[in-house]
Structure 1
């Protein structure tokens, strides 16, 4: 992840435009390593969330108000004592590092004007929030660091604060005057170009170094020595122009997603991820809040759905193996008619057989009277041989009929499980998984406990609005699909589904009007996106009016039949559709 000097610079720029000269109206500490500051000023009220969690440090403006503990922690009480109602006078980033200073002006106990500094260090496991007096004496910190933890720097009340020397002899990129300075620095390093850049300049992450190389049109993993001086000068020029844009506050906060999962964020447009979905935002705080929320939510949903996914995939594999075995057994019954013909021909032509005959050669009146050779048991009479073949025929016939039913049942189970797996794939919250689990319980895939109570269902179908203002609903699971199609939709509403694959039911509320062509295309895109074919370039979609969709007797949830329908080819892209929360 790229919580680097560039993101910090973007955040400082945003804070200067929002909370500078505002007063601190509320201070809380929702978690042991997190504080929430509320500001009021001429630009309205703002909340600043600062987290120094070792695995997930971040800082952003937020609209969310987190509940505070009944007993405020010591650090929170110290902040309230000193800077409650204080005014933010300066916000800056020293040396383009991953550090933000908030200088605060307030009245002390004597009523005199005093200065304090709140220092936020966002440095991975070393992240901290340090509160200092005007002479850089540490008053307190959210994490105390003694000499037993670090021999380089103690962070304790009464000690002098100094910046951690994490960057060594790195150069502040904002102090570079021309591209020749960049060329001289990176050209002398016997490293890959990417590493030469991020090890030479403060606040530049490997991600940004890789982006510079991509924009320069070179392979950044190759050594500096592999390129000519002209090529390296071009890299230096690209980096210099890149930094100049940052100096002029030309930020483009963005999130890069692979499918639904956020994989990267930055304050600049990451052209190197052109094959992924990149969304540009107006605010870096919005990016940070969304990224961490989505990442946490995606991770949490994957963890919670892991058990359900395992149950479904195990049952699916078992049914697929069962289907393979049943299909092979069914193939063996194809010779049943041969035994019936043997029995009939023995009855017709076996009257003059020798008692010890081992074969009967007779014309097969089922095959243009071609001569057929029928094996016989010489210890049996012709009538007994005929009965033996008729018994075999009846046995294979019964097996065929039973296997045909079993194969239909197994195939139905496979399709049902595939539809449940598709529902798990599109789940976006823990509530979405509740209904899926209930379906697995109802169909015996999960054992039902006597003390289990029915959960109150909070999950609702997805709701979109088309470009022409029509409401479109998408079922998240089989129960919702049934509810949408047979209880929510009216006869003249339109029903969409991906052809021949698991997917959601999509309902367009027609309001008894004729739909524009664009609505059909957008509903088709939703049906394609919320199906197992969402990774395909195009998906065939069946659509028809809801009154022509029927529920088969004893059909599993989400299964329907229809006999007349229209078809269209849809692209599984819903980026232009408005989603209603």
Structure 2
């Protein structure tokens, strides 16, 4: 998940195709370590190029989204406007396979003479920078100043000579000898994948793993333990990957685990097996989509963290309470013994001697002899009464415990269903409805603002392969609405068996559903449940008219009988989501 040398190579191809010969119309610095260049190409098309040297997320790509710039431009932005505002891109290149893009820009100086400057974009993780250099390679300024106190390798300050630091001896993948590759890889006593990316410029751990996978070699095995034949095969796979860069035949793509983007590259990532792959026409399109999707997921996780904490705290408290109540219930199991003791003392205690410590008699319930402990200070009748009192006390405790356990279990199930709803939330709008449910049931205190909370979240909507509409509730309120307001009596209802999950409704329009639609709806119910991480899950399904709401039950909690069941995979990557 990094802009490695291959992705940078693809981006350079795109930059040359789009803006080479174009002129800079506008320069903005929306963030302290970010530039937005507006460029008009020689074909009179306008492009916005976003460049970020952020330590956590360095990037470069074309975007249609504009960003608001501060009212007062930072010094670096003002310097660029002075020198290269209106300048023309005359050359764009990547040195070797480094994670660096050089922009040569032609402009007129104060005397009207043609000059050339270079804008260097270094995409190197926390060491990323944007450096503005003179034609002679002298640093004019940079978006980040790096002094000798910060880095002993290279100073990035005005007046210093610009150079690419060579902290490691690496081979250039675009220009190397076969014997050098094998010697470099095999000489390192480290895992094979690590040996590859530490020996070759611009190769990320992701691509190193991909090359090992294509060569069918164990990436975790020590590089110096492979035979020469295996290393020759490895080099062949490496060459095939590098050749795609040389030829420009790149395939920008993102791989997804379920709905979450995992990695991106400009070569197919075969190491992810059955993960869903989405291809893009441009590297910019790939990068913008990946980072936008990841940002949404990150933002949702951040916004939902407080809700998760509330739910988890309540769950922990109720689970502890449940365990104590179960222990208390277990302690009442001996209540029947005390009742029997009392009855037997009343039956056989008439001839007990005063001060007797026990009574041995026949237990006519089990037809065997039994010995009953007695309090020698009490009469037989008082001992019987004492056991009946203990029996009645435990009986009351039992009845109260059964009721409390049922209430606690219901609360745990409710909280687990909310936790599952948080897991499947895709947007901040989804969280609003979940928060409302937590407020309604007293887990969160409502802060009155005078405004009614606007609910915009809607259920998921899918279309089956046979054209039937399938709806999936994102939370308990939506489950309730889908089942009892949206669904007709002859529509089909699906739910994961014995665990929290979404209600899935299939609209039949009075028709008999094909088997394939039943299977797809069941897979949706499996995926949007607590069992989504399992390979398969058991799903109950029944006509909606047989699903009943329990009086006083929490939203989304229902009962049903005489249902059907099926075991289905939890994968839904091939099920089509309806257009919004």
In the alignment, which residue of structure 2 is the partner of 1:509? 507
Mapping for residues 255-274 of structure 1, pairs under 5 Å: 255-257=254-256, 261-274=260-273
1:466-489 CA distance string (max 9 Å, x none):
333333222222222223323333
Moved more, 11-20 or 81-90: 81-90
In the alignment, which residue of structure 1 is the partner of 2:235? 236
Does the CA-based 8 Å contact 1:419-1:503 persist in structure 2? Answer: yes
Is 1:93 matched with 2:94? yes
In the alignment, which residue of structure 2 is the partner of 1:485? 483
Structure 1 runs not aligned, ≥5 long: none
User: For the structure 1 residues 370 and 188, does the alpha-carbon distance in structure 2 shift closer, same or farther, using more than 3 Å as the test?
Assistant: closer
Tell me how far 1:539 sits from its aligned partner: 0.8
In the alignment, which residue of structure 1 is the partner of 2:77? 76
Is the partner of 2:558 in helix, strand or coil?
coil
Is the partner of 2:457 in helix, strand or coil?
coil
Mapping for residues 9-48 of structure 1, pairs under 5 Å: 9-41=9-41, 42=43, 44-48=45-49
Does the CA-based 8 Å contact 2:258-2:571 persist in structure 1? Answer: no
Is 1:429 matched with 2:427? yes
User: For the structure 1 residues 490 and 79, does the alpha-carbon distance in structure 2 shift closer, same or farther, using more than 3 Å as the test?
Assistant: farther
In the alignment, which residue of structure 2 is the partner of 1:386? 384
Mapping for residues 26-175 of structure 1, pairs under 5 Å: 26-41=26-41, 42=43, 44-84=45-85, 86-105=87-106, 115-132=116-133, 134=135, 136=137, 138=139, 140-145=141-146, 153=154, 155=156, 159=159, 162-166=162-166, 169-175=169-175
Does the CA-based 8 Å contact 1:526-1:574 persist in structure 2? Answer: yes
Instruction: Give the whole-Å Cα distance in 2 for the aligned partners of 1:563 and 1:190.
Output: 63
In the alignment, which residue of structure 2 is the partner of 1:572? 570
Moved more, 288-297 or 252-261: 252-261
1:93-119 CA distance string (max 9 Å, x none):
122211112334566778776654432
Does the CA-based 8 Å contact 2:91-2:103 persist in structure 1? Answer: yes
Tell me how far 1:506 sits from its aligned partner: 1.8
1:57-89 CA distance string (max 9 Å, x none):
111222322233333334334444555555544
In the alignment, which residue of structure 2 is the partner of 1:227? 226
Instruction: Give the whole-Å Cα distance in 2 for the aligned partners of 1:411 and 1:80.
Output: 66
Does the CA-based 8 Å contact 1:167-1:202 persist in structure 2? Answer: no
Tell me how far 1:322 sits from its aligned partner: 2.0
Instruction: Give the whole-Å Cα distance in 2 for the aligned partners of 1:525 and 1:517.
Output: 13
Mapping for residues 254-333 of structure 1, pairs under 5 Å: 254-257=253-256, 261-274=260-273, 279-333=278-332
Does the CA-based 8 Å contact 1:25-1:38 persist in structure 2? Answer: yes
Tell me how far 1:262 sits from its aligned partner: 4.2
Does the CA-based 8 Å contact 2:87-2:107 persist in structure 1? Answer: yes
User: For the structure 1 residues 390 and 133, does the alpha-carbon distance in structure 2 shift closer, same or farther, using more than 3 Å as the test?
Assistant: same
In the alignment, which residue of structure 2 is the partner of 1:407? 405
Is the partner of 1:31 in helix, strand or coil?
coil
Mapping for residues 160-199 of structure 1, pairs under 5 Å: 162-166=162-166, 169-176=169-176, 179-187=178-186, 193-199=192-198
Does the CA-based 8 Å contact 1:356-1:379 persist in structure 2? Answer: yes
Instruction: Give the whole-Å Cα distance in 2 for the aligned partners of 1:521 and 1:392.
Output: 56
The root-mean-square deviation of aligned C-alpha atoms, in Å, is 3.2
User: For the structure 1 residues 372 and 509, does the alpha-carbon distance in structure 2 shift closer, same or farther, using more than 3 Å as the test?
Assistant: same
User: For the structure 1 residues 43 and 412, does the alpha-carbon distance in structure 2 shift closer, same or farther, using more than 3 Å as the test?
Assistant: farther
Instruction: Give the whole-Å Cα distance in 1 for the aligned partners of 2:446 and 2:281.
Output: 49
In the alignment, which residue of structure 2 is the partner of 1:343? 342
Does the CA-based 8 Å contact 1:251-1:267 persist in structure 2? Answer: yes
Tell me how far 1:44 sits from its aligned partner: 4.9
Instruction: Give the whole-Å Cα distance in 1 for the aligned partners of 2:488 and 2:481.
Output: 12
Moved more, 209-218 or 570-579: 209-218
Is the partner of 1:400 in helix, strand or coil?
helix
Moved more, 427-436 or 417-426: 427-436
Is the partner of 1:347 in helix, strand or coil?
helix
Does the CA-based 8 Å contact 1:180-1:236 persist in structure 2? Answer: no
Instruction: Give the whole-Å Cα distance in 2 for the aligned partners of 1:268 and 1:121.
Output: 22
Tell me how far 1:542 sits from its aligned partner: 1.5
Tell me how far 1:407 sits from its aligned partner: 0.9
Instruction: Give the whole-Å Cα distance in 2 for the aligned partners of 1:377 and 1:184.
Output: 92
Tell me how far 1:316 sits from its aligned partner: 1.7
Instruction: Give the whole-Å Cα distance in 2 for the aligned partners of 1:240 and 1:395.
Output: 82
In the alignment, which residue of structure 1 is the partner of 2:443? 445
TM-score normalised by the chain length of structure 2: 0.88
User: For the structure 1 residues 98 and 569, does the alpha-carbon distance in structure 2 shift closer, same or farther, using more than 3 Å as the test?
Assistant: same
Is 1:545 matched with 2:543? yes
1:181-208 CA distance string (max 9 Å, x none):
4234444556554444333332123333
Tell me how far 1:364 sits from its aligned partner: 4.2
Moved more, 206-215 or 496-505: 206-215
Tell me how far 1:238 sits from its aligned partner: 2.7
Instruction: Give the whole-Å Cα distance in 2 for the aligned partners of 1:181 and 1:329.
Output: 74
Instruction: Give the whole-Å Cα distance in 2 for the aligned partners of 1:166 and 1:267.
Output: 26
Instruction: Give the whole-Å Cα distance in 1 for the aligned partners of 2:465 and 2:554.
Output: 34
Is 1:212 matched with 2:217? no
Instruction: Give the whole-Å Cα distance in 1 for the aligned partners of 2:65 and 2:50.
Output: 9
Structure 2 runs not aligned, ≥5 long: none
Tell me how far 1:21 sits from its aligned partner: 4.2
Is the partner of 2:174 in helix, strand or coil?
helix
Instruction: Give the whole-Å Cα distance in 1 for the aligned partners of 2:224 and 2:334.
Output: 74
